Amino acid sequence: MSSTPPFDLEPQVSRKSELLVRTSPLGNDVVASLALDLTRATCAEISAGNELYGLVCASIVKKQTRSFTLDVGAGRREECCDSDDDGNGEDEDEATGRVSCSGLGLGTFSFEFDGKMIHAVHQTLGEVVGTNCGAALYKTLVLVSESGLEPLTRFCDDLIARADVTSNAKFNIFRWHVQYSYWRKAETASARPVESVVLPMAMKDKLVDDLSEFVSPSTKAWYIEHGVPYKRSYLLHGSPGAGKTSLIQALAGRFKRNVCYLSSLSHPEMTDDGLKTAVQRLPPRSLVVLEDVDTLFGDGRRKRDGDKSALTFSGVLNALDGVGASSGQVFILTTNHRERLDPALIRNGRVDVHIEFTDATPEQMRLLFSQYYRSAATSLADKFADNLVELLGSGRTVSMACLQHYFIMKRKKTAEDAAADVQLIIDEMMAMGLGNKGDQKETDKATDDTAGAKHADAKDADEAKQSACKASATKVGSSGGKDVHVHLHIN
């Protein structure tokens, strides 16, 4: 029998490859296939992973019919695939959900923009490398024009402008991508009318009027004339479920603004420079939202446990101050606990307007009832509010979220039934542990009073014991004519 092993066990010596150097964005075969004159061609390379790459790829997908990628997406097909099609009139429930969506495949593509021919080369370069998501190839997109750089920049500027457009009906939601340092368009949301947000009229008018005045041309001119950073900051604070998010969505529609969420401030790669870059690169006409700002830093401006970012308190302050950019930014900070915020964060000049959100007032109770039962008589709305206030008493309140839940449960009932059956709201609150705020205050007060009385009684008893002990010690010391040291242990 042969002793030769079935495999060659001798170590293989691999020859080191020379460093790959690329001095041209296109290979000779690509140049030949496009019949380009390299002496006249201008190339602009766009790396995969940034915002412009996504915009250009989505645009080319609509212009070509031969090379695609497919993936699973959510929403209507035309929205998922970023199509210009307005839909085919199918039922909304059937048109939404998980669908297959197309992206740009590899290849060369040619199209015309403003009378100029533009070529696009979507290609991979190099060998397969390992990433956190598995094996991958480096991907790049190259735009080519024989009319110079201007047609390429105008084409990209047009895509950016169309991506940032807003209306009264819809607005774009962006989220900051820390790793690639760009604002990623997350979705397009439907705006809601300001009138549909049930808040005290005085409070809502205050915010809307203030923002209207800020965005006016005369205000901008005044800020520039006096050298004041042209930015405005609002703090929305108070009870959870009171309408902060709803108001932000309504403001986006009213003022045709994008909404940019800075929800990645605790990301391990977030730094002060990264936050500064995020503010400088904001899409135009945006509301910048920092949610739950009380969770960013603890006492003494220390980072919260588990926060591995390099962001500092001063970095956040500089961003709010408009350092490095002040072109009309509107910041909206939200918190349920204003008392936890460092005074430096919300001082005058840094946060301009404080808006407090409370649990439902009688005015809001009436307005919300009328919104769900628009044809009902005003007297029914008054009856609903009066009945609810009476049942709540002086110590309890109810959130707007609880009231909305009540009207959802009553969606098949009449307005008369909804106005009369308010006891159900109290029952639901009690079942969820939300209906004993006032009772708890009274209980806490009674507990404090009892504890105080017990403490006073114990103090009086202790003083009596001390007096008795002193008297006893004096008596023992005087009996023998000598000082007697008595150690008493009082339990």
Residues 225 and 152 both lie in one domain: no
280 lies in a domain? yes
Residues 310 and 430 both lie in one domain: no
Residues 6+ apart with CB under 8 A from 290: 262, 265, 331, 332, 333, 334
229 lies in a domain? yes
387 lies in a domain? yes
For residue 205, what is the domain's CATH number? 3.40.50.300
The strand order across the sheet containing 170-177 reads 182-190, 170-177, 258-261, 286-290, 327-335, 230-238, 353-357
Q: What is the pTM (predicted TM-score) of this model?
A: 0.69
41 lies in a domain? yes
Residues 6+ apart with CB under 8 A from 142: 25, 26, 43, 44, 45, 46, 120, 121, 123
441 lies in a domain? no
Alpha-carbon distance of 154 to 113, in angstroms, equals 9
Helix, strand or coil for residue 124? strand
Residue closest to 233 by CA, chosen among 292, 320, 126, 169: 320
Residues 384 and 352 both lie in one domain: no
Residues 350 and 212 both lie in one domain: yes
Give the domain-ending residue among 324, 357, 390.
Answer: 357
Residue type, position 393, single letter: G
Quote the DSSP letter at residue 480. Answer: S
Instruction: Report residue 156 CA to chain centroid gap.
Output: 27
Residues 340 and 380 both lie in one domain: no
Give the domain-ending residue among 386, 417, 435.
Answer: 435
CB atoms within 10 A of CB 78: 16
Residue written as tokens 């106005």?
A: 419
* pLDDT reading at 179 higher than 50: yes
Residue closest to 139 by CA, chosen among 49, 70, 59: 49
State which residues form the domain around 429. Answer: 362-435
Alpha-carbon distance of 255 to 215, in angstroms, equals 9
Give the helix ranges, DSSP H, for 228-312: 244-254, 272-280
* Total domains, the chain: 3
**Which whole number is the average pLDDT over 387-409?**
91
Q: Tell me the pLDDT band of 417, cut-offs 50, 70 and 90.
A: very high
pLDDT winner (highest mean) among 307-316, 374-383, 444-453, 471-480 = 374-383
Alpha-carbon distance of 93 to 234, in angstroms, equals 38
Residue closest to 490 by CA, chosen among 470, 137, 239: 470
Per-residue pLDDT tens over the stretch 55-113: 999 999 998 888 999 988 765 555 555 444 444 444 444 445 688 889 999 999 999 99
CA dihedral 72, 78, 81, 84 (to 10 degrees): 180
Residues 308 and 225 both lie in one domain: yes
Residues 279 and 346 both lie in one domain: yes
Helix, strand or coil for residue 92? helix
Looking at 78-87, 184-193, 243-252, 289-298, which range is the least confident one?
Answer: 78-87
Q: What's the mean pLDDT when you consider all of the chain?
A: 80
Residues 116 and 192 both lie in one domain: no
Which pLDDT score is estimated for 445?
A: 41
